[in-house]
Amino acid sequence: MPKKVIVLGTGLVGNAIAIDLAKKYDTSAVDISTKYFARLQEHNVKTLLEDLSDLYEMSRLIADYDLVIGALPGHMGYKTLKKVIETGKNIVDISFMPEDFMTLDHLAKKNKITAVVDCGVAPGMGNLILGYHNSKMKVDSFTCYVGGLPIRREWPFEYKAVFSPIDVIEEYMRPARYVEKGHLVVKDALSDIELIDFKQIGTLEAWNSDGLRSLLITMEIPNMIEKTLRYPGTTQNIKILRETGFFSHEEIEVRGVKIKPIDVTSQVLFPKWQLQPGEGDFTIMRIIISGEQDGKKLKYVYELYDSFDADTDTLSMARTTGYTCTAVANLILQDKYKEHGISPPEYVGAKEGNYEAVMAYLRERGVNYEVRSRQ
Amino acid sequence: MPKKVIVLGTGLVGNAIAIDLAKKYDTSAVDISTKYFARLQEHNVKTLLEDLSDLYEMSRLIADYDLVIGALPGHMGYKTLKKVIETGKNIVDISFMPEDFMTLDHLAKKNKITAVVDCGVAPGMGNLILGYHNSKMKVDSFTCYVGGLPIRREWPFEYKAVFSPIDVIEEYMRPARYVEKGHLVVKDALSDIELIDFKQIGTLEAWNSDGLRSLLITMEIPNMIEKTLRYPGTTQNIKILRETGFFSHEEIEVRGVKIKPIDVTSQVLFPKWQLQPGEGDFTIMRIIISGEQDGKKLKYVYELYDSFDADTDTLSMARTTGYTCTAVANLILQDKYKEHGISPPEYVGAKEGNYEAVMAYLRERGVNYEVRSRQ
């Protein structure tokens, strides 16, 4: 009998995850929207219509499964994770939750649960790759540039949100933390814009984003930074909205009605951030890890350029995020990763054999990380 | 006994008008806000607290005056003008009303009323100057570049609204009409951005605005255009809001509440568009009139650069708009202009002696139009 997996959330990434897992496992997927249900059913995924904000119902639903995949918006991530652990189920999660998931480590250990979090492309693969190298060398510096962008550049934002758009706005607001010479530095999101060239697409701009997350706690590396990539000039256009107050969560009174500007902005903006049917995206990532290995200075440079798959109509962000998640799900389902507690992906990468297994899994699906090393 | 004038609206421009008129006339000013009342009283202006959207009350208020000055927001302009004419009072108006004021011409003539409209700097002085030259020469082309800008450039809009900010947004939305080779051309507001140098401040950008208004009807000139001036680059930032939908008047539903994006945008944006106490502005205008005079090709170039008056704390836009209005008010109060009907300022300028009188009046107040002519 194949093992049973349940995917919570069937958005653009969640549905790619479910379809990938259904090739090998008995897979179900749950959402409050039926938007992708027909597509999922075509790929042998059982679909369940349910409001997952009802945690009691969610707990009941997952009771019969071997593994849970969390693919919900950031604001639902933490409470879902907690309830899954309480229910006694292993989980791989990709939601970009604002809360500190490490606060659930004790509970997960107590319940003998394996819970891998932040398990997408970024956060996710950067952590896993760093975890791997960190187990082999003394790392001095980790830099990650990453972005998911539409192929068509539509003015003024030249951006489409593949994951929850409200999470994107949060990323534009949340102060960015990085480590420089051993010290934690906190800067504005969207700060320190620099231009970077990529051979596949030309010049992009990179800005400080708060993507290090668990690495700030789990790693003792003196220099670590993550920057997000956008088409040049568009970050400025986001700043216009942010600085003017359109992202504010503070209620204002408009013609006698109390309202938060962010809610109105979401309504106005998000339709513009939606990929149109057939529209493609790409994921681009450059990771630079340098330090000392076997007594020698060494630098590793990873480059990922992945484009959407027109044949299967699968977005690149769904591929690069989703297949990282399913790669790790496979490790758990095959008993190759069974650490109890909360595991950010650097823990997974640090364990012998996992890095190679995940890279091979991704390669099979056409997601190729080029890696060069030089002294 | 001095004649009696009543000023409707005591915003930034209205209060400069009242203060100027009070030097010579028995002047009252009315508003729903007491913001400038203390200042007005210091300058010998009687202040009346009244809601002028109550037209019956307004009509009662003006009964005892020789001349009415309309200095209300655009959306109140037309109905106020109509009621003043019905009440049988002469009026000089500066409100940028969207309606066609010429539809009141018949009523004004019937009631033997002199009503000068659009009587500010732009519309206003451009019309008056063109009316003057048009009476002396065969004009082939009229171009007007005009802007009112803050001295401090605050990102991202580098703009402060001296008149009603909602009228400014309307200007960003309303299609712009101009005349080219005898044909009416309609283009997007904010279109055809060009860079223009001014000796006093450097480079500004100019875009098509719908400022010709009455000139489209009253003048048979084959080429006429008005463009509005802003600091370079900021028009693009306004377009970001406009194209994304933040200026939309169409109701959307946000968390169960129906709301117009423009109302929320106004609330968020207008505080940022407010001049801070002590902050200064300037007005810049370049008018180019060319044609044939006495059998010769001739071109007139007018340049206005006017800065705020720190001594009296009077903004430049209040000076250039307000003193044009008071100059024409003086012509009427001194029986030098008494045409019945609706007069856009080109009618005033076409009448012998008025152009010189208005220019002299402005010069006395430090508002200097430099004029050069060349063949």
Average pLDDT over residues B189-215: 97
Is-contact B94 B118, C-beta < 8 A? yes
pLDDT at B173 over 80: yes
- The predicted pLDDT at position A278 comes to 85
% pLDDT > 90, chain A: 97
Given a contact cutoff of 8 angstroms between Cβ atoms, the answer to whether A16 and A314 are in contact is yes
Return the amino acid letter for A95.
S
DSSP track, A119-131: -BBTTBHHHHHHH
Distance from CA of A198 to the nearest CA of B (A): 27
Which chain B residue is nearest to residue A266, measuring alpha carbons? Answer: B254
Residues in chain A with CB shorter than 8 Å from the CB of B246 are 246, 268
pLDDT band at B278 (very low <50, low <70, confident <90, very high): confident
pLDDT the model gives residue B10 = 97
Is residue B160 pLDDT above 80, yes or no?
yes
With a cut of 80, say whether residue B299 has pLDDT above it: yes
The per-residue pLDDT for range B30-64, each reduced to its tens digit, is: 999 999 999 999 999 999 999 999 999 999 999 99
Distance from the Cα of B366 to chain A's closest Cα (Å) equals 36
Chain B hits for A253, CB-CB cut-off 8 Å, are 267
pLDDT, position A74: 94
- Contact between B243 and A269 using a beta-carbon 8 Å cutoff: no
pLDDT tens-digit profile of A317-369? Answer: 999 999 999 999 999 999 999 999 999 999 999 999 999 999 999 999 999 99
Q: Do B254 and A240 touch (CB under 8 A)?
A: no
Distance CA B2, CA B176 (A): 43
Tell me the chain A residues in contact with residue B263 when contact means C-beta distances shorter than 8 Å: 254-255
- Angle CA(B319)–CA(B321)–CA(B327) in degrees, nearest 5? 85
pLDDT of residue A293: 96
Predicted confidence (pLDDT) per residue in A98-147, tens digit: 999 999 999 999 999 999 999 999 999 999 999 999 999 999 999 999 99
User: From the candidates B157, B247, B267, B269, which should be mutated to test the interface with A, based on the most A CB atoms within 10 A?
Assistant: B267
- 3-state SS, residue A354: helix
**What is the ipTM for the molecules in this complex?**
0.86
Q: Taking Cα atoms as reference points, which of A362, A361, A318 lies closest to residue A19?
A: A318
Handedness of CA A166, A168, A169, A175 (dihedral sign): positive
Rg of chain B on CA atoms, in Å: 20
How many CB atoms are located within 10 Å of the residue A184 CB?
A: 11
> What letter represents residue A205's amino acid?
E
Yes or no, beta carbons of B263 and A255 under 8 Å apart: yes
Which pLDDT score, from 0 to 100, does residue B277 have?
Answer: 87
- Average pLDDT value for chain A: 96
**Which residues make beta-bridge pairs with A145?**
A227, A286
pLDDT category, A213, cuts 50, 70, 90? very high
Q: Does residue A295 register a pLDDT over 80?
A: yes
For residue B360, count CB atoms less than 10 angstroms from its CB and return exposed for 0-12, middle for 13-18, buried for 19 or more: exposed
Element (H, E) at B49: strand B46-49
B267 interaction partners in chain A (CB closer than 8 Å): 252-254
> What is the pLDDT, as a whole number, of residue A162?
83
Q: pLDDT of A137-182, one tens digit each?
A: 999 999 999 999 999 999 999 999 987 888 899 999 999 999 999 9
Residues 6+ apart with CB under 8 A from A365: A20, A319, A323
> What are the pLDDT digits (tens) for B212-229?
999 999 999 999 999 999
In the prediction, which pLDDT does A287 show? 98
Chain mean pLDDT for chain B: 96
pLDDT digits (tens, 9 = 90+) for B109-119: 999 999 999 99
What is the mean pLDDT of the segment spanning B165-170?
91
| Residue A329 distance to chain B (closest CA, Å) | 37
What distance in Å separates the CA atoms of residue A63 and residue A366, rounded to the nearest whole number?
Answer: 34
Q: Is the pLDDT of residue B156 over 90?
A: yes
- Calpha distance A73→A75 (Å, rounded): 6
- Cβ(B21)–Cβ(B40) below 8 Å: no
- For residue A265, the distance in angstroms to the closest alpha carbon of chain B comes to 8
More confidently predicted of A91 and B375: A91
Contact at 8 Å (CB) between B241 and B235? no
pLDDT in tens, A215-236: 999 999 999 999 999 999 999 9
Judged by CB atoms closer than 8 Å, whether chains meet at A268 and B244 is answered as yes
Tell me what pLDDT residue A164 has: 82
Q: What does the pLDDT average to over B155-170?
A: 90
- Assess whether pLDDT exceeds 90 at residue B163: no
The answer to whether A211 and A154 are in contact (CB under 8 A) is: no
| Mean pLDDT along residues B345-364 | 98
Residue B70 has pLDDT above 80, yes or no: yes
Q: What is the pTM of this model?
A: 0.89
Q: At residue A81, what is the residue type?
A: L
Query: DSSP assignment of A100-159, as one string?
Result: -GGGGHHHHHHTT-EEE-S-BBTTBHHHHHHHHHHTTSEEEEEEEEEEEEESS--TTT--
